[in-house]
Structure 1
Amino acid sequence: MESVWLFNGETGRFASAVFTELTFAEDWVKANRLTGTLTRYPVNIGVYDWALNEGIFNIKKEEHTSPVFIGNFTSAGQEHYHYENGDRS
């Protein structure tokens, strides 16, 4: 699966960086002593569809098919790491 790594700062609403390699991302997080989350995102597929395809998420309610739900969907099943002051916690 082709993927990228997005960094979201602890108070950020949107990603502040995108990387093709985890090592590049972690070097940047460490160099800037950042606190936040680094999450792996699949390329060319929405996280909602990816989670359905991987069996990580199952539709249980009608609202789970709404545009608002799909547009805001994230999954704890995505590989992700938490950082505090640049160190993985």
Structure 2
Amino acid sequence: MKSAYELAMERLAKSDPSGSTPLTAEQKSRLGEIDRVYKGKLAEREIFLKKQLDEALAAQKFEDAEKIKQQLASERSRIEEDRDAEKERVRRGK
């Protein structure tokens, strides 16, 4: 007799058959490369913006500092979205 979890997993597999295909070694390698590239992009933007943030705080420009914090958050989100979209393309084989 199957557990409720096993039955749910079977239903899920039937509803999305492409989601259960195993990744090839090339796809795994490409996914790792995408992670490295986007981690580098994120680090580059964080370093640049944190330098600006430190300068704004040192000059007591609190409005500018708040804008920089918002920019940092939005760029982090954008980079993560771009990374996830590219990884999804690789998983789908495109």
Q: Which range, TM-score by smaller chain?
A: under 0.3
TM-score scaled by length of structure 2: 0.23
Q: Which structure's residues are more often strand, by fraction?
A: 1
Q: Which structure's residues are more often helix, by fraction?
A: 2
Rg larger for: 2
